[in-house]
Amino acid sequence: MKVTIQKWNTVATWRWDIPEEDVCGICQVHFDGTCPTCKYPGDDCQLLSGKCGHNFHMHCIMEWIKQESSRGQCPMCRQPFEWTDQNNESAGQIE
């Protein structure tokens, strides 16, 4: 018998490619979920990774940074929060 696969319609799930921690330190929602203000995960609700190694929902951290009291620090480690180059583009747009 000769078997040929003609079509393969499969299903996959996506996840953010980040190590270990799975919930946003600010909103405590899973990264693969949405921040409280968003409806759709993924493209609509990006992540922002800090150089300090902490990740947040972009909307969450932007909200945080906007506050005076944050003094631009990462809420987890209190180091100045700088995001990695990868997301520079989008972050720049928001600022």
Question: Which residues contact other proteins (rule: CB under 8 A)?
Answer: 1-18, 30, 32-33, 39-43, 47, 49, 86
- To other proteins, the closest distance from the beta carbon of 50 in angstroms equals 14
Alpha-carbon distance 69 to 78, whole Å? 12
Q: How far is the CB of 68 from other proteins (least distance, A)?
A: 30
Two tokens at 7?
Answer: 């079509």
Q: 13 vs 28, which CB is nearer to other proteins?
A: 13
Q: Which DSSP state fits 21?
A: -
For other proteins, the closer CB: 44 or 67 = 44
Comparison of 31 and 64: residue with beta carbon closer to other proteins: 31
Closest to 48 in 3D by CA, of 1, 4, 92, 2: 92
- Residue 82: beta bridge partners? none
